[in-house]
Amino acid sequence: MTIPSALIERLATAKSVSVLTGAGVSAESGVPTFRDSQTGFWSKFRPEDLATARGFKRDPKMVWEWYDWRRKMVLDAEPNAGHRALAEMESIFPEFHLITQNIDSLHQRAGSKKVIELHGNISKTKCFEENTPIERWAETGDVPPKCPRCGGMLRPDVVWFEEPMPMNEFRQAVGATECDVFLVVGTSSLVYPAAELPLEAARNGAMVVEINTTMTELTEQVQFHVDGASGVVLPALIQAVRSAREQILK
């Protein structure tokens, strides 16, 4: 792993930094990514069966149970050094935005206070019929459980394929592309409109940097690609930026 000195210098004086994360940042916490051909979620399941409203209508029990299994897995996982480094960045830069496609709350559990969740959160539930958040329901043995308001089915409050992103979060994410440095960490950059955000940041004049263990669809379009695991690269990056700042202040 080599961190470009131009990136460290830019971050040392940056006023505004934004970060977009994907499943890769939680990989070192033991949560499988989606597209890894060996361990990824989609290697065992078909996305259209499990992460679409169509799939849910076809087999609501299977979909609810799959999310129940994933919910337990993320609850058992612990945030890693990459999540902690991103939480630390909140206090380093005058303006900082953390945008995530992850639904696992590991950023929040690592201490990030403000997280823009583009794809919802697996610990939240909503009514499939009315689309309203539901916090409590009677445990009647129904799978999925029934909405206490309308009797319809409950579903996880996550964004499925073919569904729009939450408007407010997407607006905030687009606003966050107005920044000095935009880091894209642990995402394959295949799912739109999230994948559009780094391109928008570049159009706005930001230095766009990818941190990933592999090359992606985005790699050709970024200023720097830092090859490495986020749990290693991000703490090293923070350390380098802190030392560069101390040098500037001397």
Which residues lie near ligand OAD (CB under 6 A)?
Answer: 22-24, 27-28, 33-35, 40, 47, 51, 101, 119, 159-161, 186-188, 190-191, 212-214, 216, 229-230
Label the pairing between strands 16-21 and 120-127. Answer: unpaired
Please tell me the distance from the alpha carbon of residue 244 to that of residue 5, in angstroms, as a whole number: 10
Which residue, 82 or 250, is less far from ligand OAD as judged by CB? 82
- CA angle 219-222-228, nearest 5°? 55
Nearest CB to ligand OAD, comparing residues 18 and 205 = 18
What's the min distance (Å) between Cβ of 136 and ligand OAD? 25
Give the residue ranges of DSSP H helices in the chain. Answer: 5-13, 24-27, 41-44, 47-50, 53-58, 60-76, 81-92, 106-109, 167-175, 196-203, 230-249
- As measured in angstroms, the least distance from the Cβ of 249 to ligand OAD is 31
CB of 128 to ligand OAD, least distance (A): 16
> Based on CB atoms, which residue is closest to ligand OAD, 45 or 137?
45
Characterize the bridge pairing of strands 207-212 and 181-185: parallel
> Toward ligand OAD, which CB reaches closer, 59 or 246?
59
Residue nearest to ligand OAD (CB): 24
154-158/120-127 β-pairing? antiparallel
DSSP 164: P
List active site positions: 119
Least separation, in Å, of the C-beta of 247 and ligand OAD?
A: 28
Alpha-carbon radius of gyration of the chain = 19
